[in-house]
Amino acid sequence: MNALPLVQPAGSADRPAYEIGHSPLLAKLTISPYFGILTAFWVYVALSNVLYANSMQAMLLVLNAGYVFAPWDARLLQHILLYPALLTCVWASLRVGWQPLWRAVPTQLILGLAFSVLASPELTLAEILVGAMPWHHGPVHDEHMGFAAFVSGPVIPIWLASITSFFLTYGFGLALVAGFDFYRRLRDAQLRTAALERSLNAAHLAALRMQLSPHTLFNLLHTIRGQIDWDPVTAQSMVVQLADLLRRLLKAGERELSRLSDELQFVRLYLDLQQKRFSDRLTVRVPAHDSLPAAWVPSLILQPLVENAVVHGLAGDAGAVVIRVEAFIDEETLCLRVVNSMVRRQQLGRDGIGLKNVRERLAIQFGGRASFRACAGDDNDWIAEIRMPYLRDGP
């Protein structure tokens, strides 16, 4: 167990435990949870002991057994006098800890006994202070009493009984504080683990988004290269559009989420560039801005699907290709779909970089709440579909 004091310097909540115990700002102390827990426990112990003793004493007086228990005010004062000793022993116990056991266990027992031994003398002192000792009678208080009479009298058994009782009480209090300390350290460890997982996921997502930039760039450069020789004017226009596209690409790659409307605007810009190269073959259908649901999606999540539709839709066929982008809400699920026509009985290979990227990002950001499928449709279409939670609010 880590050593932790019952009081902490102000402003030490975010500092490591080894700094808290050695802070030079001991003048600025604030009540710690350990102090509050131990205080509440000791108030409960004091009240329960006083009520128990009073009820038992009342019963004995009815039976004419005389005074056996100390008065309630003396017992209450006893617990008040024992309170600083309890704080000191528990504080020392937390400082000692429980490792290694061969050294910690004897030390912990000594601290518990040191506290328990004080209980009976503190009660006697409390009785003297309140001026009432009705239960002390007989030869024990004879000033001519010898040591043998003292040992054989009621003082030693009462002391041993007091030590046993308060040793168990001290053990319960220490277990309560130690249990809270264990819970606090476990909670802090879980928070640190969660923070590390979030950082790892953020780094992974950033790496996945960075994969898209060179992938898209190479595809677009290949598109422009085909225009330079036979249509330089169109190629120059495409270079300007490419600059705008790359600027948007870099900006989107820095964000985890973006508006669906922004994603579709990026998709339109990309498909517009492709249409300038394949104007006679490529037909694009993208939903209008006004018809889109107000949703947030992972940045650049549609880009790999659109690129895949262009590359694989046009490959191996000189005919016309239609690419259709759809976005709609199904209850609380946002559905994003990219559909492209393909050659009949076209050979379908494994997922490329783009589709793997989409799968990994959805798994990291949504876990089992999102799904992705890419398969052939009924009408010789290739369908890539994302189903994810409907995010109304952005970051």
Q: pLDDT tens for residues 177-230?
A: 888 888 888 888 888 887 777 777 667 656 655 555 565 677 667 767 777 777
Encoding tokens for residue 366? 């949504």
User: What is the domain partition of the chain in residue ranges?
Assistant: 7-194, 255-389
Tokens representing 385 are: 């579909």
CB 107 within 8 A of CB 55: no
Please give the pLDDT value at position 44: 92
> Residue 351 to residues 274, 308, 373: CA-CA distances in angstroms?
22, 10, 11
pLDDT at position 381, please? 82
Q: What stretches in the chain show pLDDT beneath 50?
A: 1-31, 137-153
pLDDT at 385: 92
Phi, psi of 223 (to 5 degrees): -65, -45
User: 275: buried, middle or exposed (CB in 10 Å: 19+, 13-18, 0-12)?
Assistant: middle
Taken in order 252, 258, 260, 262, the sign of the CA dihedral is negative
Q: 379 vs 111, 122, 282, 344, 376, CA distance in Å? A: 82, 93, 18, 9, 8
Name the pairing type of β-strands 333-341 and 321-330: antiparallel
- pLDDT of 357 reads 78
Q: Which of 375, 363, 2, 57 is nearest to 182 (CA)?
A: 2
pTM over 0.85: no
Q: How many helices (H) and strands (E) does the chain have?
A: 11, 9
**129 Cα distance to chain centroid:** 52
Say if residues 130 and 144 touch (Cβ distance below 8 Å): no
Topology at the third CATH level for domain 255-389: Heat Shock Protein 90 (3.30.565)
Gap between the Cα atoms of 272 and 277, Å rounded: 9
How far is Cα 339 from Cα 321, in angstroms, rounded to an integer?
A: 10
| Pairing outcome for strands 321-330 and 282-285 | parallel
